[in-house]
Chain A
Amino acid sequence: MRRLLNRASRSVTHSVRAMEEAWDAFWFTPADPTLLGVLRVLTGLMLLYTHAVWGLVLGDFFGPGAWLSERLVRAIQDGSYTYSFWWLVPGQWIWPAYGLSMAVLALFTIGLWTRGTSLLALAVTISFCHRVPAATFGLDQINAMLTLYLAIGPSGQALSVDRWLALRRAGAAARPSPSAAANLALRLIQVHMCVIYFFAGTSKLQGEAWWNGEAIWRSFANLEYQSIDMTWLAWHPWVLDLLTHVSVLWEVAFCALIWQPRLRPFLLAGAVVLHVGIGACLGMWTFGLIMLVGCAAFLPNEAVGRIVAARTSAQGRAKPLVMPWLVNPHSIQGAPRHREPIAVRRTDPSERADRANAL
């Protein structure tokens, strides 16, 4: 009996330890921050565009007598834990406040004082959204989500003025060192994208139109969304049915299948088709593009790092570039099962030393 209990106890201990190791490996394995830097630049550009468009109607939405009066917004947000610096800005100061906000977003985009400007960019983004809650949509939600995780991770360690200054000052390696914080931020984006697609998919299962094949037609037949006339599809109902079913299936399956290295390229290709389709047909290019920026967190980090390094480094020797999803996923040390060089890059010795330290 005692032997049986001991064996059970050992088994439980082993399982718990294995789970603990898997958890640590998932969240805390050091990762190259280059992809995070790419995401910062792309998110920053979208933030700049989003807020530049606000500048066209600043008085109408943020000034005195705005579409959404302070009384209305306070009533909408009654009992909520919301904040916005706009409540502190007097009418005559809206343009200086706006200029300062744009400056913060520009600094975040170029990666100058990124630790501080990423947090300020998050505060700016949330403040704008909380001032005009009835004028926001998915774009603003993804903007804020990405900015939050880019503020958590070291998003200024690559493709940034901060990096360039560090290189000049200390002659650091061309490629930044892998860090657990970079991996943590990327993982948070990945997990959040999974949550978004899962609920986007399952919420559709409540609607009859997503079951009977009508949903995509209803999207195309909505004049207020339409940017390309797709009503010719009324003569091809099976195409509409197929698009409807594939959309739901893809969204629901994304959170499970994206983690499979062999399926990931297909899932990401599906994301490009879906979001470019939304942009082209429903006129929501900004939303489609920012969702693709979120999906870009699933790109092979190493390959992105090498491509960026190859473009930014002019010296070194040629080295084959391998797409990581062709690498054996069971090989912890990254020993390749299939290696197919798809590009040649040049690296410098300091970079190799940097990588050797990391491994």
Chain B
Amino acid sequence: MSIGADPGLVMPMHAPPCRSPRRRLLRRVLSVWLVFHVAAIIIAPAAVAPSSDLIRSAWGLFQPYLEVLYLDHGYHFFAPEPAESTLLAFVAERDDGTTVHGRIPDRATRPRLLYHRYFMLTEHMNDAPEELRSLWHESYAQHIGREYGAARVTLIQQTHNLPTRERVRGGGHLTDPESYEDQPLGTFRCDGY
């Protein structure tokens, strides 16, 4: 396989030979950077757990470069397997006793990209490291309190379990109430509303 001479992708000819020393030096420098760059973009997804000590050490070398350029991604789309969704239900209580009930993401949100932004907020919350969870919940609660002018916000994490094929064939629906599992996250006092 000769990919360097593939006429489908580039002009059908060789790279012209470098006659001037300056151009030759530039090509050498670029080649060194290319080796570094290609290694970096391979190490980024390879370093996602489970990964070896060797790859994790290499990640340490490439980390600044990858993070500055926003190339530090695993590309593990729907992997290791498509999982159940996480939603965030909330009850915002105002000082006058009125309450607002809501849930994100809301399937009525348009455009769809905006819906996905909210969906990512809850999905990332579910994946948050243990030490950041309370700060995460606090941040969302403060925003909801501010949004609805509420003094107290109660958060409930909902896991929407996926039905099996057999269940759907037996008459089950994706919206069946028993497919949702609630996990209270606490009630938060909101100061900034």
Neighbouring B residues of A30 by C-beta, 8 Å: 10-11, 13, 15-16
Given A234-B165, A234-B169, A209 and B15 contact (CB-CB distance below 8 Å): no
Tell me, in angstroms, the Cα distance from A204 to B45 when the chains sit together: 13
Interface segment among A104-112, A165-173, A281-289: the answer is A281-289
B108 within 8 A of A: no
Tell me, in angstroms, the Cα distance from A322 to B112 when the chains sit together: 40
Judging by beta carbons under 8 Å apart, are A222 and B81 in contact? no
Judging by beta carbons under 8 Å apart, are A224 and B105 in contact? yes
A219 within 8 A of B: yes
Tell me, in angstroms, the Cα distance from A23 to B31 when the chains sit together: 9
Given A218-B162, A222-B84, A259 and B1 contact (CB-CB distance below 8 Å): yes
Interface segment among A9-17, A62-70, A95-103: the answer is A62-70
**Within the complex, which residue of A23, A82, A134, A141 is in contact with B120, where a contact is CB–CB below 8 Å?**
A134
A199 within 8 A of B: yes
CB distance from A358 to the nearest CB of B (A): 6
Given A76-B132, A331-B12, A29 and B4 contact (CB-CB distance below 8 Å): yes
Judging by beta carbons under 8 Å apart, are B6 and A81 in contact? no
Nearest-CB residue, chain A, relative to B64 = A81
Which chain B residues numbered 61 to 79 have a C-beta less than 8 Å away from chain A? 63-64, 67-71, 73-79
Judging by beta carbons under 8 Å apart, are B13 and A129 in contact? no
Interface segment among B34-42, B92-100, B181-189: the answer is B34-42
Judging by beta carbons under 8 Å apart, are B192 and A65 in contact? yes
Tell me, in angstroms, the Cα distance from A63 to B119 when the chains sit together: 20
Judging by beta carbons under 8 Å apart, are B14 and A53 in contact? no
Which chain A residues numbered 16 to 36 have a C-beta less than 8 Å away from chain B? 21-32
Neighbouring A residues of B165 by C-beta, 8 Å: 217, 221, 234, 237, 240
**Within the complex, which residue of B5, B45, B147, B163 is in contact with A221, where a contact is CB–CB below 8 Å?**
B163
B48 within 8 A of A: yes
Judging by beta carbons under 8 Å apart, are B162 and A75 in contact? no
Given A31-B11, A148-B71, A330 and B2 contact (CB-CB distance below 8 Å): yes
Judging by beta carbons under 8 Å apart, are B27 and A71 in contact? no
**Within the complex, which residue of B12, B69, B80 is in contact with A206, where a contact is CB–CB below 8 Å?**
B80
Question: Size of chain B's interface in residues, with CB distance under 8 A?
Answer: 84
Judging by beta carbons under 8 Å apart, are A29 and B13 in contact? yes
B82 within 8 A of A: yes
Neighbouring A residues of B6 by C-beta, 8 Å: 259, 261, 329
CB distance from A223 to the nearest CB of B (A): 4
B150 within 8 A of A: no
A350 within 8 A of B: no
Tell me, in angstroms, the Cα distance from A204 to B75 when the chains sit together: 10
A301 within 8 A of B: yes
Judging by beta carbons under 8 Å apart, are A302 and B11 in contact? yes
A334 within 8 A of B: yes
Tell me, in angstroms, the Cα distance from A144 to B78 when the chains sit together: 20
Neighbouring B residues of A56 by C-beta, 8 Å: 111, 114
Tell me, in angstroms, the Cα distance from A137 to B119 when the chains sit together: 10
B55 within 8 A of A: no
Question: Size of chain A's interface in residues, with CB distance under 8 A?
Answer: 108
Given A25-B15, A219-B78, A199 and B46 contact (CB-CB distance below 8 Å): yes
The digit string for A37-60, where 1 denotes a CB below 8 A from any CB of B, is 000000000000110010011001
B25 within 8 A of A: no
**Within the complex, which residue of B7, B76, B174 is in contact with A231, where a contact is CB–CB below 8 Å?**
B174
Q: Most chain-A CB neighbours within 10 Å: which of B77, B112, B139?
A: B77
The digit string for A147-172, where 1 denotes a CB below 8 A from any CB of B, is 01000000000000000000000000
**Within the complex, which residue of A66, A331, A358 is in contact with B11, where a contact is CB–CB below 8 Å?**
A358
Tell me, in angstroms, the Cα distance from A196 to B77 when the chains sit together: 10
Interface segment among A85-93, A183-191, A311-319, A339-347: the answer is A183-191
Q: Most chain-B CB neighbours within 10 Å: which of A80, A203, A215, A327?
A: A203
Judging by beta carbons under 8 Å apart, are B119 and A26 in contact? no
Q: Most chain-B CB neighbours within 10 Å: which of A71, A209, A224, A227?
A: A224
Contacts A141-B70, A221-B162 aside, 19 further interface pairs with beta carbons under 8 A come to A21-B15, A30-B15, A53-B113, A72-B138, A145-B71, A192-B41, A195-B41, A199-B74, A203-B79, A206-B50, A207-B81, A209-B81, A222-B84, A224-B85, A286-B112, A302-B12, A329-B7, A330-B5, A334-B12
Q: Sort A-B residue pairs by CB-CB distance and give the 9 closest, nearest first.
A: A334-B12, A207-B80, A207-B81, A25-B4, A209-B81, A134-B124, A203-B79, A199-B45, A218-B82
Point out residues on B near A: beta carbons under 8 Å. 1-16, 27, 30-31, 34, 37-38, 41-42, 45-46, 48, 50, 63-64, 67-71, 73-85, 87, 105, 107, 111-121, 124-125, 132, 135-136, 138-140, 142-143, 146-147, 160, 162-163, 165-166, 168-169, 174-175, 192
Q: Can you list 21 A-B pairs, Cβ within 8 angstroms, ordered by A?
A: A24-B27, A25-B15, A57-B117, A65-B142, A72-B132, A81-B68, A133-B124, A134-B125, A144-B70, A183-B10, A191-B38, A195-B45, A200-B76, A204-B80, A210-B80, A219-B78, A219-B82, A260-B1, A327-B12, A329-B5, A331-B12
